Every structure is written in structure tokens, then in C-alpha cells.
């Protein structure tokens, strides 16, 4: 049951990261049931099938930790025992739901501002600033203006994400947010000239989009770097899958807990997915050749990225799974391929159709990658509690089908209530739309992408301090590549001096860190995500990680293994997971109320302070549940003795 139910969340991520881009582009007005269902069902099924061949490699041979899988096993055991062990997640869901209900949430309906929630407190504060103070709301920008962005979103759900991912990843995400809002944004807005006659509102949108494109460049290199690091397990997984598909496997000697779905069934079911996939891309784009190319891309890159998703989920947890990063790579590769197709075959006549086809391909790959990581987490849970793998895999397929039936209905409910880009940020969908249209229409901001790529190589250099390749220092090689990217970006932007200056700052900062501190095993993808997202979202994630660090020190877990830390933090992680689930569920309920014409607003000018106090209480509660759980473990140990 748990395996089937868990599929919905991951499948929803694969869909909402990609398909809303078609609404952003103006291709769709809403989420038609059938195309969304086919995309989710086929992409999710492929993800389950691809991950089957990876189970023995990642779970049995590599013995990757899969932290959520381990935590889920503990929840199942706790549920069997009952009592207070299930209290944290129930408390977290209740708190998250109540906070979402009370926080200020407004939408515009027929030109009228409506208060969807009770609106008892404000849950965010942010603004753009210059050296002279707050950036005015009105006026015209006639020259470059150094602009910063700062604020905070008081989201218990994001605080919970930070507690789950821990202090290291939380710090890297915050570093990315700091670089984006307080380094990249002021540098690019202050050194590079904006278009003439731009209003301040348009100027803010312009510089923020450029900041996000820098994050895209960092994600692109970070994703490719992850591929290089994972080349061994990925190649091994592909080899094993092909061998099993072409030979009959003797399964008589395998134990019940080591039986996967029959390889012949897996290969035939995979091939059966080809027809609906091609028809789907053909349907939304109206072009048959891109639909056929989509099969090649999904069945090659799809497996590759399913393996990456499964490996990263096992190593760092599903919360750190760079599924958006690998989907970005798919979008860039597919859009570039379709650009050539448009030139060579269609004489440039089908640009918009190929943009739509690109999003369709990305949606299949994103769903497959998201489900792959989720399935392997579930299989890790089953490995711990003694479940039968093939039964779990069948349950996952059933869960994919059930989720695919529900997702279009929920999405239509949400967009009928909330506005994309405002109430629903949908950053990944806007990014996918910008990338696909930018590449195919020739409007891609390559200068900012190259700037971000150069920053990524600076981060990679930190990971390879004092390492050599053929007698050459690796970090200097990476920094040389970074400098080259900064130069090319300056040429593309026609601002060579400015780009050399910015690049020199990043390279100088990298060398200064190495000189003072040495190397750093930094997560390039985590920093890239922080650079792309607004810093107001990075701060609560960082604070959640810092709360977990404080609890670590209180419990004396500094020298403990990762497994011991995860076990100790299980109650706090359950509470944090409840915060995320509670906010999400209440958000859907509020959308239902709004669609029904029910608006709950009570206060016209809610204060920020009550929200801040409740936000702090959520962080305190996550730490308290962990400390309380540690005390109970000590008491149980004393009773046993």
C-alpha cells in the first residue's frame, strides 16, 4: 500500500515541473485530461521499469543509504507499534495546515482582489534595493542601476525541507541564494546596460530573469558533472538491463526478497510504452518526425537520467534529487536537436510546434526520473522490512496509474484559483518554457548561461583541490575553463571588460578560499538551485538546516555516522515531513474553496510578527521532537539494562 501511494507525489513533481510550461507559452489554456494522463502514466511507467534493473546495483551491491526509504521503514515499524511514535507527523501536518489556513493568501478574480485564506498574518517580506535605498516602484530606467534583492518567506514547509536535507545542503542552497541575489544580481544590473526606456517594473523582471539564467548555466554544468561522476554505476546498470532483456534469467535460486519483475515482461512493457508516447508528442505538436525522435531521446537519455535520479536519491535523499537539473539538460539537448530539424527539414516554419514537442519530451523524461528515485526509495524500505520486490514494483505501477488519473483534476483546480507565476511560482515550468522557446527562437540569453557555467567550474575546482591529472593541478584546469567561459560570455554580450571583471572576482574568491581553507566538497546542484530560486526561499531552507545542526550538537552527534544521525533525527524529520504535507493539503483545500466562491479573509492588513513567531515555533518543534525521541531512546535502553 505504501509503495503504491508514494508514487503520486513523485509523479506530480514530474508533471508540474514541465507541463505548466505549455500554459506559460500560451499553447494550453488548461490541463486537458487525456494528454496529462498519458504523459504521467507513460512517463511514470517507464521510470518504474527503468529502475528495476538498478535495484540490485544501488541497494544490494552499492548499499546506498536511501535516507527516506530508511525513514519510511521506521514509520511502518512505528505504525505497527502505535503509541507516540506516529505523533510527530500528525502534529506536523496539523501545524502546516493551520499555518497555511491563517497566512495571507490573495488572488485576483475578475479584477477584484480576493482573500483566499483567513489572512491572520503575513508570511513573507521582500524588496529590491539600491545603494540609495529601496528601489522605487515607478519611473523609467535610463542607465544601469546596481540592484540587490532580499527578504524571507515564512514557510514552515521550506523550513521542513531544510531540516530534512540537513545543514550542509541547506548551507549550499543559501550560498546559491546569496550569490544570486547579492552578488550576481548587483553585478549584472550595475555593470551591464539594460534596454533603453525600460520601466522600473520591466527592469526588475529583466534583471531577475538574467539572474535565473545564470542559475541555469550553473545547473547545466552541475548536471553534466554529475553524469561524469556516475558513469560507472550507470554503464553497469545499462549493461545488466540489456543482458537480462536478451537472455532468460534463472530465477529458481533467488529468494522471495530478491525477485524482481520478469525481465521479459519489463522489456515488452517498455516497448509497449513507445506507441502512446509517440502519439502524445505528435498530438500536442502536430509533427510526426519529432514524435519519432522523442522515442530515441526518452529511451536513451531517459534511462540515463533515471539512473542519475535513483543514484542521487540513494546518496543524498529524494529532497536533493536534481531532477530539475537533469530535465534542463534534456530540454537544452532536445531544443538544440529540434532547432537543427527546423532548419534542415521544416525551413524554420514550425518553431512553436517544436517548442511544444520539446516540453513533451522533457515531461516524459522528468516523470521517469522522478518515479525512478521514488521507486528505489520504496524498494529500500522493502529491503529493510522484508517485502517482495516484484510485488512492490507492481504496486508502484498501480500507483502511477492512479496518480495519473488524479493529477489533471488537481492541476485544473489549482490554476482555476491561483495565478501561475504569482500565487503558484512554478519556477521550473517557467524555466523550461524560457529555455525551449529561447533556443528554438534564437533569443536565448547565452551570455548569462555562460556566466553561470563559469561559476559552476569555479565550484567544481573547489572539489578537486590538490588533485592532479597527468601532473597538472585539476583545480587550475577547471579555473582555466571557467575563465574561458567568462571571456566567451563577454564576447557574446559585447561587454568583455565587464565579464572579465566579474569572472576575476569569482576566480579570485575561489583561489582565496583554497589558500585559506583548502578544498570543499560542495554540491554544485544545490548551489545552482539556490541561485535560480529567490533568496527568500533559500533562507528558510538554510534555517531548517541550522536547527538540525544545533540539535546535532545538543545530542553530541558530531562524530556519529550518517546512519546514526538519520536515526536520531527521525522524529524531527517526521514532523518536518508533516509540515510539508500539511501546507500542500491545505493549499489544495483553499483552491477548492476559492473555485466554489468561498473566500475566508478576515483581516485587511495582517501583521508580519505573528507569522514570524509561528514560523519560529515550527523550527523549535522540529528540534524538540528529535530531542524528545532521544530521551525516550535513553529511557528504553535503561529499562532493557
φ, ψ for residue 149 (rounded to 5)? -135, 135
Give 320-377 pLDDT, tens digit per residue: 566 776 788 888 889 999 999 989 888 878 888 999 999 999 999 888 888 887 788 8
pLDDT band for 461, please (50, 70, 90 cuts): very high
| Neighbouring C-beta atoms of residue 584, cutoff 10 Å | 17
Report the residue count for the chain.
Answer: 641
- Whether 319 has a pLDDT exceeding 60, the answer reads no
Which pLDDT value is given to residue 410?
84
Q: Which carries the bigger pLDDT value, residue 409 or residue 427?
A: 409
Q: Which carries the bigger pLDDT value, residue 62 or residue 29?
A: 29
Q: Which three cell numbers stand for residue 603?
A: 483581516
Which pLDDT value is given to residue 507?
96
Q: Which three cell numbers stand for residue 396?
A: 508502484
User: How far is residue 130's CA from residue 136's CA, in Å, rounded to a whole number?
Assistant: 9
Which pLDDT value is given to residue 240?
67
Which pLDDT value is given to residue 503?
94
Provide the percentage of residues in the chain whose pLDDT is more than 70: 85
| DSSP reduced 3-state for 277 | helix
HEC profile of 198-242 = EEHHHHHHHHHHHHHHHHHHHHHHHHHHHHHHCHHHHHHHHHHHH
Angle between helices 33-52 and 351-385 (to 10 degrees): 50
Which pLDDT value is given to residue 231?
75
- Whether 107 has a pLDDT exceeding 70, the answer reads no
**What's the whole-number mean pLDDT along residues 195-223?**
85
**What's the whole-number mean pLDDT along residues 481-491?**
96
DSSP state of 127: E
Q: Which carries the bigger pLDDT value, residue 251 or residue 131?
A: 131
Which pLDDT value is given to residue 317?
60
Which pLDDT value is given to residue 549?
92
pTM over 0.75: yes
Class of residue 582 by CB neighbours under 10 A (exposed 0-12, middle 13-18, buried 19+): buried
Could you write out the DSSP letters of every residue in 145-209?
A: ---EEEEEE--HHHHHHHHHHHHHHHHHHHHHHHHIIIIIHHHHHHHSPPPTTEEHHHHHHHHHH
- For the chain, give the mean pLDDT: 83
- Whether 254 has a pLDDT exceeding 70, the answer reads no
Which pLDDT value is given to residue 2?
59
- Whether 542 has a pLDDT exceeding 70, the answer reads yes
- Whether 172 has a pLDDT exceeding 90, the answer reads yes
Which pLDDT value is given to residue 77?
63
User: How far is residue 81's CA from residue 21's CA, in Å, rounded to a whole number?
Assistant: 45
Give 379-418 pLDDT, tens digit per residue: 888 877 777 888 888 888 888 998 899 899 888 887 776 6
Q: Which carries the bigger pLDDT value, residue 79 or residue 600?
A: 600
Identify the weakest region by mean pLDDT among 12-21, 135-144, 243-252, 418-427. 243-252
- Whether 502 has a pLDDT exceeding 90, the answer reads yes
CB 519 within 8 A of CB 132: no
Amino acid at each position: 500500500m505504501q509503495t503504491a501511494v508514494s508514487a503520486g507525489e513523485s509523479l506530480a513533481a514530474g508533471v508540474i515541473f514541465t507541463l505548466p510550461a505549455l500554459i506559460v507559452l500560451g499553447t494550453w489554456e488548461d490541463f486537458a485530461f487525456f494528454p496529462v494522463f498519458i504523459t504521467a502514466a507513460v512517463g511514470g511507467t517507464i521510470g518504474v521499469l527503468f529502475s528495476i534493473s538498478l535495484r540490485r546495483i544501488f541497494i544490494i551491491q552499492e548499499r546506498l543509504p536511501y535516507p527516506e526509504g530508511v525513514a519510511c521503514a521506521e514509520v511502518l515499524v512505528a505504525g505497527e507499534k502505535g503509541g507516540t511514535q506516529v505523533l510527530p507527523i500528525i502534529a506536523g501536518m496539523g501545524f502546516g495546515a493551520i499555518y497555511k489556513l491563517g497566512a495571507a493568501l490573495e488572488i485576483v478574480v475578475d479584477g477584484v482582489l480576493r482573500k483566499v485564506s483567513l489572512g491572520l498574518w503575513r508570511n513573507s517580506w521582500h524588496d529590491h534595493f539600491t545603494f540609495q535605498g529601496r528601489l522605487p516602484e515607478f519611473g523609467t530606467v535610463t542607465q544601469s542601476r546596481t540592484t540587490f534583492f532580499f527578504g524571507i518567506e515564512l514557510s514552515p514547509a521550506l523550513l521542513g525541507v531544510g531540516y530534512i536535507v540537513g545543514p550542509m545542503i541547506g548551507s549550499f542552497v543559501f550560498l546559491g541564494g546569496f550569490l544570486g541575489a547579492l552578488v550576481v544580481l548587483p553585478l549584472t544590473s550595475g555593470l551591464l546596460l539594460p534596454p533603453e526606456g525600460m520601466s522600473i517594473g520591466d527592469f526588475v523582471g529583466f534583471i531577475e530573469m538574467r539572474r535565473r539564467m545564470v542559475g541555469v548555466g550553473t545547473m547545466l554544468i552541475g548536471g553534466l558533472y554529475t553524469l561524469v561522476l556516475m558513469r560507472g554505476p550507470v554503464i553497469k546498470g545499462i549493461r545488466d538491463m540489456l543482458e537480462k532483456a536478451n537472455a532468460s534469467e534463472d530465477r529458481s535460486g533467488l529468494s522471495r526478497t530478491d525477485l524482481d519483475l520478469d525481465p521479459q515482461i519489463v522489456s515488452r512493457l517498455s516497448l509497449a510504452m513507445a506507441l502512446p508516447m509517440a502519439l502524445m508528442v505528435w498530438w500536442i505538436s502536430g509533427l510526426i518526425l519529432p514524435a519519432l525522435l522523442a522515442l530515441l531521446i526518452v529511451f536513451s537519455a531517459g534511462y540515463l537520467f533515471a539512473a542519475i535520479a535513483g543514484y542521487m536519491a540513494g546518496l543524498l535523499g529524494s529532497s536533493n534529487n536534481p531532477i530539475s537539473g537533469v530535465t534542463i539538460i534534456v530540454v537544452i539537448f532536445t531544443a538544440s536537436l529540434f532547432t537543427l530539424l527546423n532548419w534542415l527539414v521544416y525551413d524554420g516554419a514550425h518553431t512553436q510546434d517544436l517548442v511544444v514537442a520539446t516540453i513533451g519530451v522533457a515531461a516524459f523524461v522528468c516523470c521517469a526520473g522522478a518515479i525512478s528515485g521514488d521507486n528505489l526509495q520504496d524498494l529500500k524500505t522493502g529491503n529493510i522490512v522484508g517485502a517482495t520486490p516484484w510485488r512492490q514494483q507492481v504496486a508502484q505501477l498501480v500507483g502511477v496509474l492512479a496518480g495519473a488519473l488524479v493529477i489533471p483534476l488537481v492541476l485544473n483546480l489549482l490554476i482555476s484559483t491561483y495565478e501561475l507565476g504569482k500565487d503558484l511560482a512554478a519556477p521550473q515550468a517557467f524555466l523550461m518554457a524560457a529555455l525551449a522557446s529561447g533556443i528554438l527562437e534564437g533569443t536565448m540569453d547565452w551570455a548569462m548561461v555562460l556566466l553561470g557555467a563559469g561559476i559552476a567550474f569555479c565550484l567544481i575546482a573547489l572539489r578537486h583541490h590538490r588533485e592532479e591529472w597527468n601532473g597538472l593541478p585539476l583545480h587550475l584546469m577547471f579555473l582555466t575553463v571557467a575563465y574561458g567561459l567568462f571571456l566567451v560570455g563577454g564576447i557574446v554580450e559585447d561587454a568583455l571588460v565587464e565579464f572579465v571583471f566579474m569572472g576575476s572576482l569569482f576566480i579570485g574568491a575561489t583561489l582565496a578560499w583554497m589558500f585559506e581553507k583548502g578544498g570543499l566538497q560542495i554540491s554544485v546542484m544545490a548551489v545552482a538551485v539556490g541561485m535560480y530560486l529567490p533568496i527568500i526561499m533559500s533562507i528558510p531552507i538554510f534555517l531548517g538546516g541550522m536547527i538540525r545542526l544545533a540539535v546535532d550538537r545538543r545530542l553530541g552527534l558530531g562524530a556519529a555516522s550518517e546512519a546514526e544521525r538519520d536515526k536520531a533525527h527521525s522524529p524531527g524529520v517526521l514532523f518536518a515531513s508533516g509540515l510539508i504535507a500539511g501546507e500542500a493539503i491545505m493549499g489544495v483545500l483553499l483552491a477548492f474553496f476559492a473555485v466554489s466562491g468561498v473566500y475566508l479573509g478576515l483581516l485587511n492588513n495582517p501583521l508580519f510578527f505573528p507569522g514570524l513567531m509561528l514560523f519560529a515555533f515550527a523550527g523549535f518543534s522540529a528540534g524538540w521532537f528529535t530531542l524528545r525521541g532521544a530521551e525516550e531512546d535513553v529511557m528504553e535502553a535503561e529499562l532493557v539494562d
